[in-house]
Amino acid sequence: MSTLATATFRVSARVAACIALGVVAVASAFATVVLRADVAEMTDLCTRAVSGTVEAEWVEHDVAKGQIWTNWRLRVDETWLGATEATVVVSVPGGASGGVTQEFEGGAHLTKGDRAAVFLWKRDDGRLLVLGEAQGAFHIRRDVATGADVCENAIDGLVLMDRAGKRVDAAPLRMTLDDLRSRVGEARRLREERERAEHAAYELRMAALRTSAERHAEMARGRPGGPPAK
């Protein structure tokens, strides 16, 4: 065997990113099965949404865990949702390191110099991964005919399912950057409204529990096990 032989591992599904979209990935002819998500759904589920330019790329090889990560650092031009920072590091499982290659079907792929808009979710270890696999990474290119910036994601290597578990025949999403920005803004507004309503409902429940606890404490005042009499 050649000393330059390369071991290649081909993985057909990544469970974590698919769980973030509400489904568990399963293998299907070397494709990743994932929930079909539009811009509103990705905005609703992501930790961060930004647009920017890829300014660096590097690979990490966790030999102990047998995991390779490819990372890209984006110089952030716009933050649409989440923390505002000058740069953000996007990670995807897979890559080539030390003669070992790990391939993941349907994963996002960026290149140094690319302009992109990405929807990200945060793992427990702090890594930011692309939500919904390649669906969550929109490449931005200038349309020479119109002069407008156009965004397009990819679905190669993905088997897309709806929430009923049925396969969806779908094309990549394509729209202008202005349109994408507008859709994210509207979805963010609806998300924030829902979160405020949920928080208000929680506060009402907590207030009702406190009132009930105070009433029961007053009824037990001076009795065995209750608070002392005034």
Answer for the pair 17, 129: CB distance below 8 angstroms, yes or no: yes
Cα angle 222, 226, 230 (rounded to 5 degrees) comes to 40
Tell me the two tokens of residue 53: 């330019």
Burial 147-185 (b: 16+ CB within 10 A, else e): eebbbebbbebbbbbeeeeeeeeeeebebebeebbebbe
Report DSSP state, residue 60: E
- Rounded average pLDDT over 178-207: 94
**What are the residues whose beta carbons fall under 8 Å from the beta carbon of 209, sequence distance 6 or more?**
none
Mean pLDDT of the chain, nearest integer: 84
C-alpha dihedral, 157 to 163 to 169 to 170, nearest 10°: -80
At 168, is the pLDDT very low, low, confident or very high (cuts 50, 70, 90)? Answer: confident
How far, in Å, are 138, 158, 173 from residue 154 at the CA level?
8, 9, 8
- Rounded average pLDDT over 47-56: 97
pLDDT digits (tens, 9 = 90+) for 103-131: 888 899 999 999 999 999 999 999 999 99
List the one residue out of 91, 77, 85 whose CA is nearest residue 128: 91
pLDDT of amino acid 230: 67
| pTM for this prediction | 0.79
pLDDT of amino acid 122: 94
- Rounded average pLDDT over 17-37: 58
**What are the residues whose beta carbons fall under 8 Å from the beta carbon of 169, sequence distance 6 or more?**
none
pLDDT of amino acid 117: 98
DSSP lists the bridge partners of residue 100 as 7, 97
- Rounded average pLDDT over 71-89: 97
pLDDT of amino acid 216: 79
- Rounded average pLDDT over 25-35: 63
pLDDT of amino acid 227: 64
pLDDT of amino acid 30: 60
pLDDT of amino acid 219: 73
* pLDDT score of 12 more than 70: no
At 99, is the pLDDT very low, low, confident or very high (cuts 50, 70, 90)? Answer: confident
- Rounded average pLDDT over 131-141: 96
